[in-house]
Amino acid sequence: MVFCWPAVPARRSVVFEAYRLPEEHEAVREAVREVCAAKVAPHAAEADETGEFPRRGYDALRAADFHAPHIPVEYGGAGADALATAIVIEEVARACASTALIPAGNKLGTMPLLLAGSEELKRRYLTPVAAGEAMFSYCLSEPEAGSDAASMTTRAVRDGDHWVLNGVKRWITNAGVSEYYTVFAVTDPTARSRGISAFVVEKSDPGVSFGAPEKKLGIKGSPTREVYLDNVRIPADRIIGEPGTGFATAMRTLDHTRVTIAAQAVGIAQGALDYAKGYVQERQQFGKPVAEFQGVQFMLADMGMKLEAARQLTYTAAGKSERGDADLTYFGAAAKCFASDAAMDITTDAVQLLGGYGYTRDYPVERMMRDAKITQIYEGTNQVQRIVMARQLLKD
């Protein structure tokens, strides 16, 4: 099925009525949930077991136009606002966290173009992503530059009408599967963060290669690999924005895409809570369903409370992302931090509620717990998010 996106309103703002989602956003949720129930969830355990990219999930999302919903209509995309995109990622993550990194990864990789790219660059690279012909990855981290991204050593040197890139990028989501990569590299070694620029690199460019897939705790269906750049020569017009603006673009990108990680965390947590609720109502001990025991009910109440708080904070941050509000940096960090911590708590409790069964791969909650852990780490650890929030509070 192909979901028919509603017309984009003239004023692209998220409007809430008594804290209820607009009907068009609820329609998005229902449509994504239907696709995921039929074509994503049945293959989630297989993707985890094999560690292979969930090709069938990608095909299903692409057929329904959910693979990169954020891309504007002028580039062939659905033109979904930030809230609708968050809902797509949430619902996919509810079924399979690895598959959720298709729309989330595409947004992360393309956001620098949307924020700072030339019109020609946007048309050249966003159009095939919107059409489902290519995916986009984001290359910021390096072996010695994680939280301290400004200390990166990947270099880009101008050579006539070209840039020549050399270096290694690590922890790159969907590396090897994506056709396009936003790569951050040092163009002025004397200027630290103001000497970093952003570029579009293609998988087919000579000198681009990939390391072996990382052996990870979770999200195993989304390949994570190093990207090697060995004298990669690219046309000068593939720079994103002006030289020296790359680091600022990277940070602005994360302000927006931390909302998508929050949405992924909410989706994982919802999947775990849904499964645990069904289990405790069926599981009998001492002659009655374990759901009737007060201790179990308290756990469920806490799980539901944390989940809904995380969802509301995530949706608020999505609204701020859509509007480009001045306090997006704070809310993006807060949503990502709170939702991922909540997801870890909720999935751990889901395993506990299933007892010994929860600890086995015969049941999905142990996978969800493993998948939830990464949401506390990538796109800035939650310790970094707390630094970001504190600085924003003190500045204000």
376 C-beta neighbours (distance < 10 Å), count: 19
Cα gap 4→223, rounded to integer Å: 30
Using alpha carbons, list the distances in angstroms from residue 159 to 81, 181, 238, 335.
39, 21, 13, 42
Using alpha carbons, list the distances in angstroms from residue 391 to 146, 149, 395.
20, 18, 6
Cα gap 131→65, rounded to integer Å: 8
Look at the alpha carbons of 112, 114, 117, 121 in this order and tell me if their dihedral is positive or negative: positive
Closest CA to 332 of 82, 87, 21: 82
Confirm if 61 and 67 have CB atoms less than 8 A apart.
yes
Confirm if 371 and 95 have CB atoms less than 8 A apart.
no
Question: Token match 């530059």: residue?
Answer: 145
Q: Which of the following is catalytic: 90, 91, 142, 379?
A: 379
Q: How far is CA 370 from the centre of its chain?
A: 16
Cα gap 301→256, rounded to integer Å: 31
For the question of residue 379 being annotated catalytic, the response is yes
Q: Give the count of alpha carbons within 13 A of 385, CB side only.
A: 26
Using alpha carbons, list the distances in angstroms from residue 192 to 143, 148, 252.
17, 11, 17
Confirm if 70 and 80 have CB atoms less than 8 A apart.
yes
Which positions are annotated as active-site residues? Answer: 379
